[in-house]
Amino acid sequence: MTKYVIAGLGSVGRAFMRIAKQDGLFDDGELWGIDFTDGGRDAWLALGGAPERFIQQAITCDGFPQLLGFLEAGDFLFDFCAETANVDIYEFCLARDVHYLCTCDDSWPGNDSITSMHAHYARYQELREPAAGHASSVIQIGMNPGMVSVFARRALRDIVAAQETDFVREHAQELRELLAAGRDGEVAQLLGVERIEISDIDVTVINDCIDPTAVYSTWNVGAFCIEYLELPFVSLGTHLDVDAMAGELKMYDSNDGFAVMGSMVERETQAPFGSFRGMVISHEEVISMGDFFSVRDDAGKLLYKPSVYFVYKPSDAAAGSVHLMVARGERMPNKTILITRDRMAFGGEAVGIVLRGSEFPDRYVGNYLDLADTVVDNPTIMQVAAPSYAAFKYMKAHPREGLLFPENLDPNEMMEYALPYFKRYDSFSF
């Protein structure tokens, strides 16, 4: 009997378990849970998990092979843990022909650096060939990273379908044929796509007074602090004169455009309700999306790629609290508060992508999720859990596709699975 194992019963793990159980996706097997906390065990039992199939233990660098040793070919591992090296666990699952799903890229404690995600992505690419024809596994599939990559592919299709410029109308047949063949990079090149902006704005308003000694967030508070305060990495496109930017960069890889900025950067981008200005922060999909939309010649020389970067504006409570933390001289919070629905007065989060280029009007594709749209901890958590659920359905429908990043998933099929949970999905030119 297939074992379905949820590792990490925090907010996202609980939300994923809830919606997948409601859809009957675990009914053909045994559902197992792993979490080292009492809270995780309580959540497991509250959601109807069997007490005898819960393992209260941490996943560690030295201990995970033994802990996960009960997994067999055809089983599923859903990894919602923090501070685990996802690429190590995936390699373990690959050797056992176990399906693996994770929502991010992380490292074992003490092993993380600004270039870790870049190095891990390179390791995943080395595993693609050995993984071919093995159990389907989807890496880094939440909202961002994850569904925003699906949105980027949908944006190209919407641009071609809309035919809003003479260039698109004249090349419509060629563009459609390239899209049908999955050659999205060549479509982006032909359309002159210069920038792909991941757009994330949190408009949550809390219903109580701010505790000045705490840091707030609608997701993992520690990870939020790290992302918001560290130098950001971006993926620089071939349309840029990188030599002229040398003074702005701490490091640059000419092979794939990966660059670490030398200082904090702000940029303006678009949301469903207008433009906003946010911080450029490091995010996994900047790397994978930049690679997916690249075009290389037969010798591997990079001919085209768009710039890809992530722009984030946290809620006022989160931004204000992290600024107070920095003013106190702290790098990480001593007290954290997750903004769950009971702390929310109203609001939600809009996450999407913006494509900008020379041969089409700027295009936004994304989803806004409001407090009224979700029954889980908050809209941010639902934005992650729903794409993970959609990817689970995709894995069951396509069980032998090996290693998959969100860009490799069929965008129409993924949207079909996710749309019931995306109450305010939109695609528009501006």
Question: Taking residues 255-274, what's their average pLDDT?
Answer: 97
Look up the domain containing 321 and give its range: 147-378
> Crossing angle, helix 221-229 and helix 316-327, to 10 degrees?
70
Domain-embedded: residue 310: yes
String of DSSP letters for 41-69: HHHHHHTT--GGGEE-----TTTHHHHTT
| Residues whose CB falls within 8 Å of the CB of residue 336, separated by 6 or more in sequence, listed in order | 214, 215, 216, 217, 221, 222
Q: Exposure of 277 by Cβ count < 10 A (0-12 exposed, 13-18 middle, 19+ buried)?
A: exposed
Residue 91 pLDDT exceeds 90: yes
Domain count, the chain: 1
- What is the pLDDT at residue 120? 98
Residue 18 pLDDT exceeds 90: yes
Domain-embedded: residue 217: yes
**35: DSSP letter:** -
Residue 299 pLDDT exceeds 90: yes
- What is the pLDDT at residue 358? 97
Domain-embedded: residue 74: no
- What is the pLDDT at residue 171? 98
Pick from 352, 388, 390, 354: which is nearest to 369 by CA? 352
Residue 261 pLDDT exceeds 90: yes
Q: How far apart are CA 42 and CA 239, in angstroms?
A: 52
- What is the pLDDT at residue 7? 98
Residue 175 pLDDT exceeds 90: yes
pLDDT band at 150 (very low <50, low <70, confident <90, very high): very high
* Extended strands (E) in 207-306: 215-217, 233-235, 249-252, 258-261, 266-271, 274-281, 295-296, 302-304
pLDDT band at 251 (very low <50, low <70, confident <90, very high): very high
- What is the pLDDT at residue 201? 98
Domain-embedded: residue 186: yes
- What is the pLDDT at residue 143? 98
Residue 331 pLDDT exceeds 90: no
pLDDT band at 332 (very low <50, low <70, confident <90, very high): confident
pLDDT band at 248 (very low <50, low <70, confident <90, very high): very high
pLDDT band at 375 (very low <50, low <70, confident <90, very high): confident
- What is the pLDDT at residue 273? 95
Question: Taking residues 60-73, what's their average pLDDT?
Answer: 98
The answer to whether 417 and 406 are in contact (CB under 8 A) is no
pLDDT band at 51 (very low <50, low <70, confident <90, very high): very high
Q: What is the CA radius of gyration of the chain?
A: 21
Domain-embedded: residue 270: yes
Domain-embedded: residue 26: no
Question: Taking residues 415-430, what's their average pLDDT?
Answer: 96
Tens digit of each residue's pLDDT (9 = 90 or more) over 335-362: 999 999 999 999 999 999 999 999 999 9
Domain-embedded: residue 335: yes
Range 341-346, long-range pairs (CB < 8 A, 24+ positions): 341/371, 341/374, 341/376, 341/377, 341/378, 343/206, 343/207, 343/208, 344/204, 344/205, 344/206, 344/207, 344/371, 344/378, 345/205, 345/206, 345/207, 346/205, 346/370, 346/371
Residue 134 pLDDT exceeds 90: yes
Domain-embedded: residue 110: no
Provide the CATH number for the domain around residue 231. 3.30.360.30
Question: Which residue in this structure is represented by tokens 């029954």?
Answer: 375
